[in-house]
Structure 1
Amino acid sequence: MTVEPETTRQQGNQPCERSAGVTERSERPSPDAREVVAYALKWMRWGGGEAEDIFVHFGVDPPRFFLRVRKLLSTPASRIVTPEDKAELRRICAVRLNPTRSDLPLGGATERDGT
């Protein structure tokens, strides 16, 4: 039995490799990719959001969510994000993906809001 790469079907039943939310045919991000980036931006000041909220909104655990956010930051889905916010989101992703780091209090305010 052979295993083929995971694909999704686009309009017209043309398969394409699954990506972080940007299709092969178009440089426009999917609505889901935009929603992930928007959520990450919204909760950036509080360390990226609570695990339970992430699961309720996206149906994935925090490691999968933050891997996706990190990947999306290099795609057109993040073109509306300022370079400073991209850097902050990358830092949050690194912390959330490596909980032994202590440079960000999870669920707390970041240095950006002066607390």
Structure 2
Amino acid sequence: MKRTHTDDIAILDLALRWAPYGGVPSSEIWVAFGVSPERFYSTLAHILGTLAARGLSPEQRQSLEHLVLRHFRSPAVGRRLAQRTMR
């Protein structure tokens, strides 16, 4: 699926809405975008380096960066990634 600027803004909006609660629940990610949490947070990390994120305040950017880091430092995510690479 090719993302558009509108998609990027929607991803940022959803992540910002859920940031105070520790991140977007996987069920919300699936309903909104039809992707796994890993794909969502990977995409979010990419978006933070694009023009779509230029309107974020420094606090918002930092909050989203922490969400991405927290997600990929999760032991469960680490185990899933390790299992994929061992196949």
TM-score band, normalised by shorter chain: 0.7 to 0.9
**How far off is 1:98 after superposition?**
2.0
Identity level (%): 28
**1:53 and 2:28 are equivalent in the alignment:** yes
Which structure features the higher share of helix residues?
2
Query: Which structure 1 residue ranges, 5 or more long, are not aligned?
Result: 1-7, 9-17, 22-28, 101-115
**How far off is 1:76 after superposition?**
0.9
Residues of 2 paired with 1:67 and 1:47: CA distance? 16
Query: Which structure 2 residue ranges, 5 or more long, are not aligned?
Result: 76-87
Aligned CA RMSD, in angstroms, stands at 1.7
Scaled by the length of structure 1, the TM-score of the pair is 0.59
**How far off is 1:48 after superposition?**
1.6
Q: Which residue of 2 aligns with 1:40?
A: 15
Q: How many residues align?
A: 75
User: Which runs of at least 4 in structure 1 moved beyond 6 Å after TM superposition?
Assistant: none
Scaled by the length of structure 2, the TM-score of the pair is 0.77
Greater relative contact order (Cα 8 A, min sep 6): structure 1 or 2?
2
Q: Which of the pair has more CA radius of gyration?
A: 1
**Match runs of 1:68-107 below 5 Å:** 68-100=43-75
Which structure features the higher share of strand residues?
1
